[in-house]
């Protein structure tokens, strides 16, 4: 316990550091010219950011730079290339980054997203698709437990009846 107290005191009791996710909404609201639905841009950016923060090559990247690169990578497919280039320049100035370094970071995030997308199966087998419930394939509801003798503990959620 004393070791943890020493560590926390060295951190100045600041246990909530700023992350890249903290920057996304603030940056998106400051760039009105994006030209795409902000909700979609935010969803894509946070997804790309979630992928990026799990990669070791982004550990030492500043959170603001990672957020900007994720936003640009996300909107790159949603807007024309000329607007994407303008957005990169605007964001680079906003967070005081070199545009070339930011472009490199965006390309790295694109590679991570591409690599992760290749891991997701593109076709879903017919066994994995969920069939709608019809009278012929409707699941039979289990009979409620009449008593509980203490010897058998229910292990499935469907085994518990109220």
Query: What's the pLDDT at 33?
Result: 58
Instruction: Give the model's pLDDT for residue 148.
Output: 45
pLDDT-flagged residues of the chain (< 50): 124-127, 129, 133-139, 141-142, 144-145, 147-148, 150-151, 153-157, 159-160, 162
Q: Which pLDDT value is given to residue 18?
A: 85
What pTM value is reported for the model? Answer: 0.64
For residue 25, give Cα distances in angstroms to 37, 39, 107, 138: 13, 10, 22, 44
Domains with residue ranges and CATH for the chain: 18-119 (1.10.472.10)
Distance CA 38, CA 35 (A): 8
- At 93 the pLDDT is 82
pLDDT of residue 162: 47
Tokens standing for 142?
Answer: 């289990």
Contact 35, 83 (CB under 8 A): yes
């Amino acid at each position: 316990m004393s070791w943890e107290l020493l560590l926390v005191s060295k951190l100045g009791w600041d246990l909530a550091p700023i992350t890249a996710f903290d920057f996304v909404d603030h940056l998106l609201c400051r760039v009105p010219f994006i030209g795409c639905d902000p909700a979609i841009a935010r969803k894509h950016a946070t997804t790309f950011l979630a992928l990026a923060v799990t990669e070791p090559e982004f550990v030492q990247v500043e959170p603001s730079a990672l957020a900007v690169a994720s936003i640009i990578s996300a909107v790159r497919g949603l807007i024309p290339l000329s607007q994407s280039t303008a957005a990169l320049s605007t964001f680079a100035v906003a967070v005081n980054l070199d545009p070339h370094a930011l472009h490199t970071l965006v390309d790295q995030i694109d590679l991570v997203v591409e690599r992760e997308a290749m891991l997701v199966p593109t076709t879903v087998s017919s066994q994995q698709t969920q069939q709608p419930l019809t009278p012929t394939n409707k699941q039979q509801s289990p009979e409620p437990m009449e008593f509980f003798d203490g010897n058998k503990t229910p292990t499935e959620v469907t085994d518990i009846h109220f």
